[in-house]
Structures are given as C-alpha cells and as structure tokens.
Amino acid sequence: MGENRKLRVAAIGVGSLGRHHGRNYAELAAEGRVEMFGVCDVNAETAATIAADNKCDSFTNWRDLLGKVDVVSVATPTETHCEIACAFLESGVHVLVEKPIALTLDEADKMIAAAEKSGAKLMVGQLERFNPAMVALRPHITKPLYFEIHRVSPFPNRSLDVDVVLDVMIHDLDAIQWLVGENVKVSEIRAVGIPVISDKVDAANARIEFENGAVANITASRIGTDKIRKTRFYQTGSYVVLDYGTKFASVTSLNPEAAHPLLGISINRLEINDVEPLRAEITAFLDSVEHDAQPPVTGEDGRRALALAVGVLEKIEEHINRLRQQN
C-alpha cells in the first residue's frame, strides 16, 4: 500500500450491530481517515439499504471483496467468523471480528495462526473495553478481589446463533480477566443456566474463582424487561461502581486525612469523555494497522474470553443434565 493511500475498508454483515460498523467507517471516510469501499450482507436488500446510507457499494458475497480492501469488520453470525476471517487474514487483510472471536477454540486458533502467518492484524470486538466509563476507571484499578456483575437485556430482535454466555456474558468474562490480570489463571468455575424462550441458554449465572483469590459472580440474561449493564467490585482500599449503560463510574475510598474513619468516606465520580465505544474501538484498530502496532484486543485476548465462556457452558450443561436426571 502506498504511503499516502487511505485504507480501503468494508463491513461484512450489516445487521443490528454490523450496520454501525458501516456507519462509523463512512463517518471516518467523510473525515478523510479511510476510503469506504463497501458493505456486504447475505440479504441483498439490507446490503443495498446500508450501502445507500453510507454512500458505498453493496455486496452479497464476501468473497467479492477479497483483493479489493485493506481492512474489514466481520459482524456475521459467529459460526461464520472463522471461514471469513481466515480468508481475509491469509490474503493480508486486517480483520476486526465481533465477539465472540469464534464458535470453538480450534477455530480461534486457526484465526490467530492465519494472522501470525500473514502479518495481518486480528482484533476482537470486546466493546466494553472502550466504554468511556471503563476508560475513565482503568487507571484507578489496582487488585480487584470480588466482583458482582449484572447484565440483563430484553429479548433481542436479531439472530440467536449463540446462547446468552457467548452473546452477552462474554463481555464480562473478558473484562474480569483483563482487570484481574491476563496471566492470572482461573481455578474454579461454577455455573447454572436455562433455556427459557429459545432453544439455547437464555439466562445464566457463573461464579468464577482465580488463583490469586479474586472471585466474580456474574448474572446474564437476555429475557429481562429492562437493560442493566452494571459491575460492582471491591479492591483493597476502595469500592468501585461501573455502569456501562449510563456511562457512569465511581470509586469510593477512605480519606486518609479525615479525623475519624467514619467521616472519611470519599466518593470520586469519575469524569467521563463521552464518545461512542464502537467509534473508539474502530479508531484503535485503524491506529494499530497504520502504526503496525499490536491491537488493543488481540486474537489471544478473544481466545481467552472464549475459553472461559466454554468452561462456563460446560458447567451449565452439567447442571442441566442433573436437572434432567431428577425428572
């Protein structure tokens, strides 16, 4: 690629989430950052509509983009991630793939290997890392020891190709490993979950213990009436509240200058730079491509979150089997 040529970008899969990838690329193109080449979707009408909105070409077969673009976002059903991502990575195209990275760990390994072999960048869209509340909070995190996490959403009006663990809980599975420490191993997983109104697990709870003593209790549901995306955790000297939905973060701690401990509670409501998380994610990905730097969420990071999700699902399956035996 010539030094002065803009990156040619495309969004593959422009449904409920992928269309926002397309919109952000188009906005970046209008700002002169990239060249918006096209959008692709198996639904020709959807592809044409999103292409018209973003003033670019539409495609229904992702293979037609091979050799024509430098960067793609892949927001297709999870079962297709590996095939599509590997095809582009093997041809030297940089790939931002939506979470989860893949359906299986073997597929994730193939994607990571394809990126390593070609030198193309592979980044996984763990969006909550780019939420302004998390960005503001990250410098205040020391050693989290106990998490209480609730993530509840109304039943989604979109494809349900995966269960609630891979669809929703994986945000928090990634976050806790990132915050506890990527080199800290999980020592125990306990989990329960049930299908409610689909043929996959719609509501789940997981208790995850780490070798350093940290514990996370996570509840995830996609059949709620309200949207809740709240994390609370404790670390030595402080209590942290993080609300992804309202983009709020606070750190409560003792004020060492107070005359009495009971009078020494200090609540620090963090200042939030309110930017769209997806815009921040895509911009960070493009930065890594342009500067030949490691993406902020690597393929290995995505695999780590998937591995923990697989562990949770195995425990859920054990619980479901016990319930069946009792009946």
Q: Nearest-CA neighbor of 133 among 4, 251, 225, 242?
A: 242
Instruction: Please give the model's pTM, rounded to 2 decimal places.
Output: 0.94
What superfamily would CATH give domain 7-126+278-292? Answer: NAD(P)-binding Rossmann-like Domain (3.40.50.720)
The angle, 0 to 180 degrees and rounded to 10, between the axes of the packed helices 105-118 and 81-90 is 10
**Each residue's pLDDT tens digit, 237-295:** 899 999 999 999 999 997 766 555 556 788 899 999 999 999 999 999 999 999 999 99
Quote the tokens at residue 269.
């409501």
**CB contact at 8 A, 292 and 301:** no
Residue 131 DSSP code: S
Under 8 Å between Cβ of 200 and 129: no
- What per-residue confidence (pLDDT) applies to 326? 85
pLDDT tens per residue across span 145-181: 999 999 999 887 666 778 999 999 999 999 999 999 9
* Tens-digit pLDDT profile for residues 77-100: 999 999 999 999 999 999 999 999
Residue 149 vs residue 199, higher pLDDT: 149
d(CA 94, CA 120) in angstroms, rounded, equals 5
Q: What is the mean pLDDT of residues 14-20?
A: 95
E strands of 57-199, at which residues? 57-59, 71-74, 94-98, 122-125, 144-152, 186-195
- Mean pLDDT for the chain overall: 94
Distance CA 182, CA 198 (A): 33
The alpha carbons of the chain give a radius of gyration, in whole angstroms, of: 21
pLDDT in tens, 174-198: 999 999 998 999 999 999 999 998 8
Q: Where are the domains positioned within the chain?
A: 7-126+278-292, 129-277+309-320
| CATH topology classification for 129-277+309-320 | Dihydrodipicolinate Reductase; domain 2 (3.30.360)
Phi, psi values for residue 55, rounded to 5°: 55, 55
180-188: Cβ within 8 A, 24+ apart: 180/144, 180/210, 180/212, 180/214, 180/216, 181/212, 182/301, 182/304, 184/210, 184/211, 184/212, 184/214, 185/210, 185/211, 186/210, 186/211, 186/308, 186/311, 187/211
pLDDT confidence of residue 298: 98
Contacts of 225 (CB under 8 A, 6+ apart): 154
Provide the angle, in degrees to the nearest 10, between the axes of the packed helices 18-30 and 277-290: 60
Angle, helices 18-30 vs 44-54, to 10°: value is 30
Same fold across 7-126+278-292 and 129-277+309-320: no
Amino acid 110: pLDDT: 98
CA geometry: angle at 243 spanning 238 and 248, to 5°?
A: 80
